[in-house]
């Protein structure tokens, strides 16, 4: 039995193509996935991401707990509302999940974790809190009486469209720089996203999500499925858990070194393993020069040895196939490599792992 | 609900076939198949002159989401490919029955009689 978000009926009204997405019955597209992609790059689109799981962390030991739990350093969070992207590692330095953490007060933080890993994440966090004897309470906010719905509204016109529907939120959110959140009435509005565009991710009581969805739609925000979400995040060079990294992959080999705070002596889970193993692979981009489509798990042949594509698709912005890949050390941006597609070796160029943001190609 | 023209024959692997007056068979993918795949961005066609057994991989269609093999619905030799479909994969989304992929001369034209008619294929598509 597939799990449903609170917006499931709304997707069906819009004739969405529904798919089993990690046990959730989710919309992959409502019509043309490519048009949905362009709507976000050029105007505004919205995604139901209510399958993702908010976890509230409350208690006197929030900071010491999170400091030890996460590879990024919550000490960077000094202003209320600031958000931080981090990996949560196991002792071997593998990625249990990637997440966003919002600082509200020193005794109240909110974490949002991936849908498919939520149960495992929560169990891990509970076990660590008990093991370290931390005064924190962890409460999931996806299911049950206090469940939240999450709607991501993304694109250059996303903020204006949100204010047209929620005028009371404008004063508190118009000054938000990227990666902040503000609480307005029952709304938790964050300037975060997974598309490379400006916009908000709005959490609200689950029972009110369908009404907000419909009002945003009436305001001209295009409903977008998880298909467009994937090509948007791929163009933006954002990692997808389970594809670009997992429990067997070091964040240093997944392009996430920038999120691992190793500068001071802070003790965090996985640190010793990262220090011992160092970086083994490079996480880079590929653009296919021949005709075809790059896909995950295809082999990349380079002068320094073989690598592997972790995510690949067709880029609607570049009108070419692009990929994220784990490649041997020594491969350089600009190198020409070959990708094995159904037994044929096709030419590709190595790029930095970001292709398009803010409506434009950056390659 | 997808479009299943009554004048065509079908394979359960979602190809359509039209028997031409010259004895060749035109082959494409069905409306149901293009809709399930979503926006197509790449089509790889066979070489004219090549022979394929029935149910062998003969072409590839790729959407933003996924790659799908196209199978030779019956045994035969490719006589012509539709380069326009490869040059504009979105034309298959626009009309899967106009944007054919290839033509073949069947080894045995009677093989067509064993393929699904529109009603039988509709049942396959509805169950998918």
What's A325-350 look like in SS3?
EEEECCCCCCCEEEEEECCEEEEEEE
Q: Which residues does B119 contact at the CB level (< 8 Å), separation at least 6?
A: none
Give the number of other CB atoms < 10 A from CB of residue A275.
10
Q: Which residue of B has its CA nearest to A231?
A: B64
Chain B hits for A321, Cβ within 8 Å: 41-42
Cβ pair A292:B64 closer than 8 A: no
Question: What is the number of alpha carbons within 13 Å of residue B13 lying toward its C-beta?
Answer: 16
Cβ pair A293:B38 closer than 8 A: no
Task: Find the DSSP H helices in chain A.
Answer: 8-13, 33-42, 62-69, 118-131, 158-165, 170-173, 209-218, 226-235, 271-277
Chain A hits for B44, Cβ within 8 Å: 292
Query: What's residue A352's pLDDT?
Result: 97
What sign does the CA torsion over A270, A114, A300, A256 have? Answer: negative
Q: What digits encode the pLDDT tens for the residues B64-112? A: 999 999 999 999 999 999 999 999 999 999 999 999 999 999 999 999 9
Which residues of chain A, if any, have pLDDT below 50? none
Query: Max alpha carbon distance in chain B (Å)?
Result: 37
Cβ pair A227:B38 closer than 8 A: yes
Q: Which residue has the tokens 């689109």?
A: A45
Query: What's residue A201's pLDDT?
Result: 98
Cβ pair A231:B64 closer than 8 A: yes
Query: What's residue A363's pLDDT?
Result: 86
Query: What's residue B2's pLDDT?
Result: 80
Chain B hits for A227, Cβ within 8 Å: 38, 64-65
pTM for the model stands at 0.95
Query: What's residue B120's pLDDT?
Result: 97
Query: What's residue B128's pLDDT?
Result: 78
Work out the mean pLDDT of chain B and round it to a whole number.
96
| A and B: number of Cβ contacts within 8 A | 39
Cβ pair A227:B60 closer than 8 A: no
Residue B1 has pLDDT above 70, yes or no: no
User: For residues A298 and A340, what is the distance between their CA atoms, to the nearest angstrom?
Assistant: 6
Radius of gyration of chain B measured on its C-alpha atoms: 13
Which site among B64, B67, B90, B92 would you substitute to test the A interface, given the most A Cβ atoms closer than 10 Å to its Cβ? B64
Cβ pair A17:B38 closer than 8 A: yes
Backbone φ and ψ for B110, nearest 5 degrees, come out as -65, -20
Q: Smallest Cα–Cα separation from A178: which of A159, A188, A192?
A: A192
Chain A hits for B67, Cβ within 8 Å: 293, 295
Whether ipTM tops 0.85, in short, is: yes
């Amino acid at each position: 039995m597939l799990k449903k978000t609170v917006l499931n009926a709304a997707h069906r009204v819009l004739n969405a193509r529904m798919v089993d997405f990690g046990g959730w019955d989710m919309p992959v597209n409502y019509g043309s996935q490519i048009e949905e992609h362009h709507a976000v790059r050029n105007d505004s689109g919205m995604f139901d991401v209510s399958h993702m799981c908010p976890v509230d962390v409350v208690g006197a030991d929030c900071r010491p707990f999170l400091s030890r739990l996460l590879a990024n350093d919550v000490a960077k969070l000094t202003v209320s509302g600031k958000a931080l992207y981090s990996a949560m590692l196991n002792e071997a330095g593998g990625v249990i999940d990637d997440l966003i953490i919002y600082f509200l007060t020193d005794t109240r933080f909110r974490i949002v974790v991936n849908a498919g890993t939520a149960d495992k994440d929560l169990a891990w966090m509970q076990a660590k809190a008990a093991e370290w004897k931390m005064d924190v309470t962890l409460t999931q906010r996806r299911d049950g009486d206090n469940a939240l719905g999450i709607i991501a509204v993304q694109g250059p016109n996303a903020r204006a469209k949100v204010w047209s529907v929620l005028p009371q939120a404008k004063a508190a959110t118009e000054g938000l720089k990227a990666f902040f959140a503000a609480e307005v009435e029952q709304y938790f509005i964050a300037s975060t996203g997974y598309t490379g565009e400006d916009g908000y991710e709005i959490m609200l009581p689950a029972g009110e999500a369908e009404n907000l969805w419909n009002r945003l739609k009436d305001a001209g925000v295009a409903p977008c499925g998880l298909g467009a979400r994937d090509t948007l995040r791929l163009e933006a060079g954002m990692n997808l858990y389970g594809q670009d990294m997992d429990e067997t992959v070091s964040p240093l080999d997944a392009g996430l070194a920038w999120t691992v705070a190793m500068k001071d002596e802070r003790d965090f889970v996985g640190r010793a393993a990262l220090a011992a193993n160092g970086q083994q692979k490079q996480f880079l981009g590929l653009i296919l020069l021949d005709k075809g489509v790059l896909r995950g798990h295809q082999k990349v042949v380079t002068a320094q040895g073989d690598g592997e594509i972790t995510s690949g698709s067709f880029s609607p912005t570049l009108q070419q196939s692009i990929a994220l890949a784990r490649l041997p050390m020594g491969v350089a941006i600009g190198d020409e490599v070959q990708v094995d597609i159904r037994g044929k070796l096709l030419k590709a160029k190595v790029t930095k792992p970001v292709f398009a943001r803010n409506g434009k190609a950056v390659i | 609900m997808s479009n299943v023209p009554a004048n065509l024959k079908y394979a359960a692997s979602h190809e359509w076939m039209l028997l031409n007056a010259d004895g060749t068979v035109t082959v494409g993918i069905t409306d149901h198949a293009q809709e399930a795949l979503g926006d197509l961005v790449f089509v790889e066609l066979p070489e004219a002159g090549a022979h394929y057994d029935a149910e062998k991989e003969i072409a590839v269609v790729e959407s933003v989401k996924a790659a799908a093999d196209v199978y030779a619905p019956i045994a035969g030799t490719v006589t012509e490919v539709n380069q326009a479909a490869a040059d504009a994969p979105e034309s298959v989304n626009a009309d899967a029955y106009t944007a054919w992929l290839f033509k073949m001369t069947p080894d045995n034209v009677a093989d067509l009689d064993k393929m699904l008619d529109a009603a039988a294929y509709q049942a396959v598509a509805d169950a998918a």
